[in-house]
Amino acid sequence: TSNYLRHVESMMVLPSGAGEISHLNAVILGEALASEENDLVFPCEEFSRQALVPSPEKYLGMYKRSITDPAGFWSEIASEFYWKQKWGTQVYSENLDVRKGPIKIEWFKGGITNICYNALDRNIEAGNGDKIAIYWEGNDLGQDGSLTYSSLLEKVCQLSNFLKDIGVQKGDAVVIYLPMLMELPIAMLACARIGAVHSVVFAGFSAESLAQRIVDCKAKAVITCNAVQRGPKVIHLKDIVDVALVESAKSGVSVDVCLTYENQSAMNRQDTEWKQGRDIWWQDIVPKYPTTCEVEWVDAEDPLFLLYTSGSTGRPKGVVHTTGGYMIYTATTFKYTFDYKPSDIYWCTADCGWITGHSYVTYGPLLNGATVVVFEGAPSYPDPGRCWDIVDKYKVTIFYTAPTLVRSLMREGDEYVTRYSRKSLRVLGSVGEPINPSAWRWFFNVVGDSRCPISDTWWQTETGGFMIAPLPGAWPQKPGSATFPFFGIQPVIVDEKGTEIEGECSGYLCVKSSWPGAFRTLYGDHERYETTYFKPFPGYYFSGDGCSRDKDGYHWLTGRVDDVINVSGHRIGTAEVESALVSHPQCAEAAVVGVEHEVKGQGIYAFVTLVEGVPYSEELRKSLILTVRNQIGAFAAPDKIHWAPGLPKTRSGKIMRRILRKIASRQLDELGDTSTLADPNVVDQLIALSDC
Ligand code: WTA
């Protein structure tokens, strides 16, 4: 049926030599073998024996079924969840080909369900009411708390009742701007319970970005807290919200209710700016509501949430996920990719402000009835051993994080790790960017004591859940490769012309046919959805990533091929940073490129041209960076500002980023042909100003 399937079958012949060494426990052959491609790390037998998917053969059997009979495969899984009413005769319908009409993806249409009910009530009815749903660890040592499934449900219901009381109805949008308090997943679930659409905005975004998102979805209410502690710093979130609400009102969206959680460890209510009539303290009102709340039953295709993400051009895109397919997909990917067992204690370091926190802090784990650790603080506070302190404290078994954190902790030395036991750990995970083999090895050898498989999960805000990731008990791994597709996913690599290439190859990563967790549209802009993702290579979903496939069929992600940079696993559009820079009154033009960064993966490198007659100075540099912090958020602040009296442009005025990238990364002997530039001299000038 599919080329991909044939390809997977052919790769079932395991790499040569595998048979001889597969009995060894977790062998690292890195030193012995020449290239990463040949570097196989086998799951230890003990792990595989207990794994949900214990062998490549088992994986292949399930994978084959998922591709040849997606309807049967997914509806069997979906039947394990609660549906008020079953979906119609068609499990899914799709059109991913722009040439055949509008792009459409639907799963379980006509099925009536509720994701909050499935995550909480269903698990409580199954006897897990007293199981811990969330362990919360605060910024400072000794600050902690926990909620059982039953008590979580009560808190969610109280907030749902409050939201209903202020007039939030099914389909209305609620913006959530909270740090990693338990109230963040509570707020998400409370919205889901009443069919409201949540739009979580990462609490590191600036007032301006928050306002933009409030306006775009016409939020009915905003949920926030007064302040948050991050390491030694206190950030006054409510002040940021106040500014954002003034801004959004100017654009015609005035929000009547700002529910504010008093985060006492960071700031007292007396010190918080307050707008009577609009602002309400969470603690004063929410606990007064009943602890039960009827579920709003929704169609599988009703929207669950919006989450904005950066693209290569213009404004952030409001990625829309719907209820049914997302529910089934996040639950299933969580279960298999982490080899989840009910006794696991799971900790994902991601913030719920990003997709990872949506799918793998809140929904995926809770749908499985898992115990989740939620950590409010900074991973290196009070010292770089904090993560392992938390692992030991809660006996974390599955630890999921980002390469940037791995790299930054790796720099601090092994002692911070080895002073903790970590013996509870059994599965590690990585997400956000390609994990470089040396970080992989450190994560595996030092953190996991060469005992815990690493699930390197490639996926995106748009995909809802894992797309390419190793099933930890099944495959020998190669450090730095995300390995093979999850059930139901058909990744294809295409060339410039959009032709599928097979075997050992590299090109653009696309996906053929839909999967339940796929996003359905961009909020209010279906055309942009089609243009960005489905027009570049007709017939496929285009991920925006480059990828190669080696002789054994392993996938190696090579990074974004569009104008998106990945800084510490955060997606930032170069166009967004450029437009922030040029809003500075003294900046005439800006061109932003990504450069390799030891810890962050990529850093932001900005070339700026100043308004005629303005001299470049240290003060101006700082003020340009501040402008970006204010417009987007601190995480998007350029690492380097490079003063550019002129930018390399073609005669038609197009900035040649290729050249800028080379200058930024000091690969001056690789500048290539500069003769087509309108003024080739600007290149020498830029190089001369490099260290300015
Ligand atoms: C990158 C985060 C390599 C990739 C879940 C993708 C990765 C973008 C990996 C999505 C990985 C994420 N290996 N690259 N394991 N995971 N990426 O939407 O470039 O914030 O397109 O979703 O991150 O970022 P997003």
Angle ∠(46,47,49) on CA atoms, nearest 5: 70
Distance CA 639, CA 431 (A): 23
Of 359, 547, 571, 602, the residue with max ligand 1 atoms within 8 A of its CB, to mutate for a pocket test, comes to 571
DSSP state letter for 420: S
DSSP state letter for 270: G
Distance CA 447, CA 425 (A): 9
Phi-psi label, residue 564: left if phi above 0, alpha if psi -120 to 50, beta otherwise: beta
From residue 597, how far is each of 403, 486, 569, 594, 603 by CA, in Å? 12, 30, 12, 9, 5
In this structure, the residue with its CA closest to atom 8 of ligand 1 is 460
What 3-state DSSP class applies to 252? coil
Ligand 1 atom index nearest CA of 560: 19
Distance CA 644, CA 591 (A): 9
Distance CA 52, CA 341 (A): 9
Distance 545 CA to ligand 1 centre (A): 8
Task: Answer whether 150's CB lies under 8 Å from 126's CB.
Answer: no
CB burial readout 453-482, b (16+ within 10 A) else e: bbbbbbbbbbbbbbbbbbbbbbbbbbbbbb
Instruction: Average pLDDT across each block of 10 residues of the chain; the chain has 692 residues. List them in order.
Output: 54 40 30 54 89 93 95 98 96 98 98 98 98 97 97 98 98 98 98 98 96 96 96 94 98 97 94 96 98 98 96 85 98 98 98 98 98 95 97 98 95 96 98 94 95 96 97 91 96 95 93 97 96 97 96 92 92 94 96 94 96 95 97 95 94 89 93 86 92 74
pTM score of the predicted model? 0.93
Distance 359 CA to ligand 1 centre (A): 14
Distance CA 524, CA 311 (A): 16
Ligand 1 atom index nearest CA of 356: 5
The two structure tokens encoding residue 486: 């999850």
Distance 559 CA to ligand 1 centre (A): 8
Of 358, 406, 431, the residue with max ligand 1 atoms within 8 A of its CB, to mutate for a pocket test, comes to 431
Task: Give the model's pLDDT for residue 2.
Answer: 52
Angle ∠(50,11,17) on CA atoms, nearest 5: 75
In this structure, the residue with its CA closest to atom 5 of ligand 1 is 460
Distance 570 CA to ligand 1 centre (A): 9
First to last CA, the chain: 59
In this structure, the residue with its CA closest to atom 12 of ligand 1 is 432
Distance CA 326, CA 339 (A): 19
**Side-chain half-sphere exposure of 481, counting CA atoms within 13 A:** 25
Ligand 1 atom index nearest CA of 309: 18
Task: Answer whether 488's CB lies under 8 Å from 66's CB.
Answer: yes
What 3-state DSSP class applies to 396? coil
Distance 138 CA to ligand 1 centre (A): 27
Distance CA 583, CA 47 (A): 55
Distance CA 159, CA 189 (A): 9
Distance 544 CA to ligand 1 centre (A): 10
In this structure, the residue with its CA closest to atom 4 of ligand 1 is 433
Cis ω for the linkage preceding 476 (within 30 of 0):
no
Ligand 1 atom index nearest CA of 457: 15
Distance 250 CA to ligand 1 centre (A): 35
The letter for the amino acid at 376 is E
Distance 497 CA to ligand 1 centre (A): 24
Q: Is 6 exposed, middle or buried (0-12, 13-18, 19+ CB in 10 A)?
A: exposed
The letter for the amino acid at 436 is N
In this structure, the residue with its CA closest to atom 13 of ligand 1 is 434
Here the ipTM equals 0.99
Of 557, 558, 565, 567, the residue with max ligand 1 atoms within 8 A of its CB, to mutate for a pocket test, comes to 557
Distance CA 386, CA 249 (A): 41
The letter for the amino acid at 4 is Y
Ligand 1 atom index nearest CA of 544: 21
In this structure, the residue with its CA closest to atom 23 of ligand 1 is 432
DSSP state letter for 119: I
In this structure, the residue with its CA closest to atom 10 of ligand 1 is 460
Question: What is Dmax (Cα atoms) for the chain?
Answer: 73
DSSP per-residue letters across 292-315: ------EETTSEEEEEEE--SSSS
Distance 404 CA to ligand 1 centre (A): 12
Of 459, 508, 533, 563, the residue with max ligand 1 atoms within 8 A of its CB, to mutate for a pocket test, comes to 459
Ligand 1 atom index nearest CA of 456: 15
Ligand 1 atom index nearest CA of 430: 15
Distance CA 409, CA 541 (A): 36
In the structure, which protein residues have their CB atom closer than 6 angstroms to any atom of ligand 1?
309, 354-356, 430-434, 456-461, 482, 543-545, 557, 559-560, 566, 571
Q: Which residues are catalytic?
A: 562
Detail the DSSP E strand segments found in 262-302: 279-281, 298-299
Distance CA 403, CA 356 (A): 14
**Phi then psi for 591, rounded to 5 degrees?**
-135, 125
**Residue (of 332, 324, 330) closest to 92 by Cα position:** 324
Contacts of residue 152, defined as CB under 8 A and 6 or more positions apart, other chains included, come to: 120, 133, 134, 182, 186, 189
Task: Answer whether 452's CB lies under 8 Å from 446's CB.
Answer: no
The two structure tokens encoding residue 327: 């529910």
In this structure, the residue with its CA closest to atom 1 of ligand 1 is 433
